Chain A
Amino acid sequence: MQPLPHTIDAAQRRRRVRRSALLFGLIAAGFYVGFIVMMLVRATR
């Protein structure tokens, strides 16, 4: 068996996991707000 890369860079992996989860969460929130704003902008024209 190889050594345990799962644990060697565990802290770095945790950071990457948190960062990418946050990024995708923000993308999802952006789509949600974006579509509502798009409708509002369209309505004010």
Chain B
Amino acid sequence: MAEHHAHAAAHDDHDHKPHGWRRWVYATNHKDIGTMYLIFAGTMFFIGGGMAMIIRAELFRPGLQFVDPQFFNSMTTMHALVMIFGAVMPAWTGLANWMIPMQVGAPDMALPRLNNFSFWILPFAFTLLLSSLFVPGGAPAGGWTMYPPLVLQTGASFPMLIFAVHMMGASSILGAINVVVTIMNMRAPGMTLLRMPLFVWSWLITAYLLIAVMPVLAGAVTMLLTDHFFGTTFFTAAGGGDPVMFQHIFWFFGHPEVYILILPAFGIISEIIPTFSRKPLFGYEAMVYAVASIAFLSFIVWAHHMFTVGMPLAAQLFFMLSTMLIAIPTGVKVFNWTATMWKGSLSFEPPMLFALAFLFLFTIGGFSGLMLAMVPADYQYQDTYFVVAHFHYVLVPGAVFAIMAGVYYWLPKWTGRMYDQTLATWHFWLSTIFVNVLFFPQHFLGLAGMPRRIPDYAVQFTDWNMVSSIGGFGFGLSQLLFPYIIVQCVRSGKPVGNRAWEGAHGLEWELPSPPPYHSWTTPPSAAVIARGAAH
């Protein structure tokens, strides 16, 4: 017996893990699955980015240059689907997989085999979706919102789109269940809810949103499928159906989806700013309640996406005012981040630079969102490039910058090595300059009346489109630095200690860098938890 224990202890002392392809295909370790999610998300980011380059090349000047209108519409549709479901969401799940067990003092996710399954659905879903580019009729081109009746005219790629969306939804729901169950059941003793890091809190709330709304999207696309193939008329006016109802259902999913994409970003920024300000987060509890309030409000604002379909004045007023209410908890967050920095001992390493850019640029996206929330103004902005500028400010220097900030923040922990900070600072400045050159002119184009989702435009829009396209190419090229920096770090970065950033707090920094294959096999002590929860 004693011999058995000694053997088991020796067994735990080294990183016992499967090798070769089995390590990845049969992976149940949260770090391996997190790595696979992040690599997948990065791959999709470059595929979706390639589609964006095609869009910006076509729009560089008026007239048709490179692609026909049908293919252009496919590019806008696929770019959105790939970036939302293939890049940003899997990147968040990858970060959740890596960090949540380490941050709550758990050995792994609660459901490791489910974790493996929810990841491996994704490559199949996106192979299916991307292969629709090669079927007769081309890839889906009716927009990522899949509005009927237009989407029902899609050719052979229609069932591929629907099946792929179902698979993405299933993957997200299973991943979200795993996150909730892990946080609720696997926290170390003493890790109370109000001691959890903000990243864990924001992911917990995000996971609840996912469980609530992804099935709604799945229901909507199932009904599209039966309308297309089985003679139902849920959304077909000719058979008594209601296409506007699809928009209501879609946006009941779609608006919380926006927060699914951004809430984990709030968590990451709330980790990074205190670290590089060398101060505890200002108003920890207020931050938690603000995230929860934003999540709640996200369920009662959906119709602001469809003011122009026509609705009663009272409904317009309700959705306008409820949308504006979101500015209050969001303002609390922006105020608290700023107050955290106030009189702090600031330093500007790459994660902090990305976090600061997030703070400024996401706020710009928030302000244009307030403009769009006003019903009479929205009638003017609807379906123009102003909307494109708005949501790209929220999603690129918002969600994508926060993901990059998170990777730059935790990469030394994951690899045990420090990356080239000079190169990462170059990555930051190039990204920040070009993202503004890319998206800020789109506000002007939208206000001047340029419609979105068109391959050609009136000559008066030429100059700002050229500027925007130059920004797009610059932004796209500068992203090549990101994988280079990561690979260089993994191969030849300088070794770092447990606490790669001197101001960092949290349980993950108590583990060695890189952390052992099985992280908290012994739960952290109360003192370690108290030291970690420095807020």
A interface residues, Cβ below 8 angstroms from B: 1-2, 4-6, 13, 16-17, 20-21, 24-25, 27-36, 39, 42-43
Tell me if B249 counts as interface (CB < 8 A to partner A). Answer: yes
Complexed CA–CA distance, A43 and B233 (Å): 9
Asked whether A35 lies within 8 Å of B220 as measured between CB atoms, the reply is: yes
Determine whether the beta carbon of A1 is less than 8 Å from that of B525.
Answer: yes
Contact (Cβ within 8 A) A32 B219: yes
Asked whether, in the complex, the Cβ of B223 is within 8 Å of the Cβ of A39, the reply is yes
A24 near B180: Cβ-Cβ < 8 Å: yes
| Chain B residues touching A, majority SS | helix
Contact code string B182-207 (vs A, CB < 8 Å = 1, else 0):
00111001000000000000000000
Q: A17-B111, A35-B216 are in contact. Are A24 and B525 (CB under 8 A)?
A: no
Inter-chain contacts of A30 with B (CB < 8 A): 215
Closest partner residue, chain A, to B176 (CB atom): A24
The SS class assigned to the A binding surface is helix
Kindly list chain B residues whose C-beta atoms are within 8 Å of the C-beta of A16. 185
CB-defined contacts of A25 to chain B, threshold 8 Å: 173, 177
A36 touches B114 (CB 8 A): no
Instruction: Report the minimal beta-carbon distance from B375 to chain A, rounded to whole angstroms.
Output: 26
The number of inter-chain residue pairs (CB within 8 angstroms) is 82
CB pair A24 B522 closer than 8 Å: no
**Which residues of chain B from 101 to 129 have a CB within 8 Å of any chain A CB?**
106-107, 110-111, 114
Measured CA separation A36–B223 after assembly (Å): 7
Question: Closest residue of chain B to A24, judged by CB?
Answer: B177
B219 touches A35 (CB 8 A): yes
CB nearest neighbor in A for B252: A35
Across-interface contacts of A17 in B (CB, < 8 A): 110-111, 181, 185-186
Shortest Cβ-Cβ A-B pairs, 8 listed:
A32-B215, A35-B219, A31-B215, A24-B177, A17-B110, A28-B215, A36-B219, A28-B173
Q: A2's closest neighbor in chain B, by CB?
A: B525
Q: Are A28 and B525 in contact (CB under 8 A)?
A: no
Task: Name the residue on B nearest A20 (C-beta).
Answer: B181
CB<8 Å pairs between A and B, sample of 17? A2-B525, A2-B526, A13-B185, A17-B186, A21-B111, A24-B181, A25-B173, A27-B211, A27-B212, A28-B177, A28-B215, A33-B219, A35-B215, A35-B220, A35-B249, A36-B223, A39-B219
